[in-house]
A = this chain, B = another copy of it.
Amino acid sequence: MAVAAERGALVDAVLERFFSLAKKRAAPLGAPYEHLWGLLERNTQGGKRFRPRMVMAAYAGLGGDDMDAAACVGASFELLHTALIVHDDVIDRDFVRRGIPNISGTYRDHAVDRGASVDIAEHRGVSAAVIAGDLALFNAYRLIDRSGVIGPVRERLIDILDEAMFASAAGELIDVDFSISRETPRVDDVLTMERLKTAVYSFETPLQAGAVLAGAGEATVATLGEFGREIGIAYQIVDDVLGVFGEEEATGKTTIGDLREGKRTVMIAYACSTPAWSRLCELIGDPELTGEQAIEARLLLVECGAKAFAEKTARAYAERAIAHLGEPHIPDELRAELHPVAETVLNRVR
């Protein structure tokens, strides 16, 4: 825990320096631009620094001792994460994230306060979010470029970041297609989407980046990729279960949003092949779903076995991930770093 806080502080410091410079540079180009940078900075704060933690866990577990460089690489993944969620909100037309106005929402509210119509205000909000996401995306590269890492290691890190972005874009596109298709996707298609959209950039590539930075051999980098992929998919399945069945205080998310949105999850894909579907499909995706109807939907998801199926699938992925840690070329220190990550995921479905 003390270690996690220390690492988090290093990442915070990198991002603080980066944004401080960017805001200074933006100021002569106009107060609104400086303000946009400040808002983007706020959007990188308060998170769990999940991706940097993966980078640093792999790095430290493989004997890396330049934690400042690892923090730069971690911050780069954090910025990529920010870019992806800011543009994800543009795509989903969301103005709020975890109960707080996001970039679009902040700009929209500000424009409404100044007397703009809701339509114009929302347009301004979305426009600002498109621009802010572009800035975060473009600068994800820059943070690696300025990390002081040079030569083939730098090139390899950029390749890995590229892979993260390439996969996320593919996942986002599949997700968009899910959301407008009238058909419910199959379980396998949901798993592919979640791997591409989230697991690759949140687990697989950050772990590989940490390993490459530590000078690890190809076998270790490959195994970390496989571990990250499996545990990332497990994490996402659990996240979807908690999005419907979790404690709102613990997750910070409502448990009705995903049901109202009709989010395509492993549970839903499973439920669709059971007799419960004839009723469930009337409830899921109804933006006006009431609290009572949500209770009914949850009950159906339990009764038809969808919840248990999702939990079982998540456990299977997490256990396969843990098995990778047992491979002989994984040093004990790395195992000690990553076992808790897998355990945390498993504990959420126990």
- CB <8 Å contact, B180 and A123: yes
Q: Which of A30, A32, A155, A196 has the most CB of B within 10 A?
A: A30
Bound: A174/B167 CA distance, A: 33
Nearest chain B CB to A49's CB is how many angstroms away? 22
Given the known inter-chain contacts A158-B145, A169-B135, please indicate yes or no for A32 contacting B177, CB distance below 8 A.
yes
Q: Tell me the chain A residues, 6-37 only, with Cβ under 8 Å from chain B.
A: 25-26, 29-30, 32-33, 36
Bound: A341/B167 CA distance, A: 41
A90 CB–B CB distance under 8 Å: yes
Given the known inter-chain contacts A87-B134, A91-B127, A130-B87, please indicate yes or no for A26 contacting B158, CB distance below 8 A.
no
A260 CB–B CB distance under 8 Å: no
- CB <8 Å contact, A166 and B25: yes
Q: Which of chain B's residues has its CB closest to A135's CB?
A: B169
Given the known inter-chain contacts A137-B134, A170-B30, please indicate yes or no for A162 contacting B180, CB distance below 8 A.
no
| Chain B residues within an 8 Å CB radius of A123 | 93, 180
Q: A173: which of B131, B142, B165 is its contact (CB, 8 Å)? A: B131
Interface string of A209-221 (1 = CB under 8 A from B): 0000000000000
Q: Which of chain B's residues has its CB closest to A151's CB?
A: B150
A338 CB–B CB distance under 8 Å: no
- CB <8 Å contact, B120 and A180: yes
Bound: A82/B26 CA distance, A: 23
| Chain B residues within an 8 Å CB radius of A167 | 29
Bound: A131/B91 CA distance, A: 9
Of the A-B pairs whose beta carbons lie under 8 Å apart in the complex, a sample of 19, sorted by A's number, is A25-B166, A26-B166, A32-B174, A33-B169, A33-B170, A87-B131, A87-B134, A91-B127, A91-B131, A111-B180, A120-B180, A123-B180, A124-B180, A128-B173, A128-B176, A131-B172, A131-B176, A135-B169, A141-B141
Given contacts A33-B170, A120-B180, 15 further A-B contacts (CB under 8 A): A26-B166, A26-B170, A29-B196, A32-B173, A87-B131, A90-B90, A91-B130, A111-B180, A127-B172, A127-B176, A133-B134, A134-B137, A134-B165, A135-B169, A138-B165
